[in-house]
Amino acid sequence: MELWSLRLLSRMLHAFDNLCIRKDGTVNRKWDKFLGTQVPANPQAKCGVSTVDVIVDFEKDVWVRLFIPKKKSRKLYSLYKKSKPQAQKLFPIIFFYHGGGFVFLSPDSVCYDTFCRRLARKCHALVISVHYRRAPEHKFPAAYDDCFAALEWLQSGQATQCLPRSIDPRCIDLSRVFLCGDSAGGNIAHHVAVRASETEISPLCIKGVMLLSPFFGGQERTPAEIRVRNVPMVSVKRLDWYWKSFLPHGANRDHPACNIFGRNSPDLSDVSLPSVLIIIGGLDILQDWETRYADCLNRAGKDVKVFFYKNGIHSFGLFDQTHITKQMFFNIMGFIDNH
């Protein structure tokens, strides 16, 4: 999509949000569901990927959509880098956490169904997209708890029982698990990774965390938040509202959920985090917070790889922003291939 069409789409999404948000700050979920565009799971392969929805926790309405690629050689990988023969026989696992400011969207939203289908196909991986409880009805830490519960669900072995008969569970590589998310989902991926590092999750082994325009912040206004104006998808005012909806009552944006390396946040120096990939856009008003996050991880001795796209908007990969989205997928594929 070109920038002008992204601006038009942004205005439509902003109007959609305004229709769903009541004056008291609550969300009209009936309007949310009516105006949103959802697609059902499809057990028949579409674009080389079939999907199935599975309930993780009925009472909490936590469920996942599995994106299962066909068993075939990874042609795109052969263009990028020769993969090891053994690696090609097994599916790595990618947990995907959707964005939407902790408030909107879900795995069956058309944009995320399309994106995760593409992610599964290009990376030849089993993608598990998680539906978590959303704010403001369910504030911090509900989203983190639900997404970690999905990880425990995979650990229990229930996930492999949900696979189609055409997929041998032995083809699923539990030793190569990746956490991925865009925007608020990127924030969730970080917090799930921290919790997983402090928990026994074998036989699972998290090899990497992939953050696409992650949603971090703080009380201060960064230069980018002041300088970058009238860009598609996000605004300072709307992002502030998302944080107010998600954070505990009385908390500000220096809460550890938001400001990862703020004065109120725990020291991550001794936390055994896996390698981290961060995608940052030059037209994203959150870019300074994302860069600061990467710099702080580096100073804490963590393995961090940053890709900066000068013309990238917030979550540009979700909207197929011209050629840079294609390059972003190559970055993701290479990261997975090297871990």
Which of the residues are catalytic?
183, 284
Strand, coil or helix: what is 70?
Answer: coil
Strand, coil or helix: what is 126?
Answer: strand
Strand, coil or helix: what is 195?
Answer: helix
SS3 helix, strand, coil % of the chain, rounded to 5? 40, 20, 40
Runs of H (alpha helix) within the chain: 3-20, 29-35, 75-80, 85-89, 110-123, 142-155, 158-161, 184-197, 223-227, 236-246, 287-299, 322-337
* Encoded tokens for 305: 């790889």
Is 218 within 8 Å of 262 (Cβ atoms)?
yes
Q: What is the Cα 315 distance to its own chain's centre?
A: 10
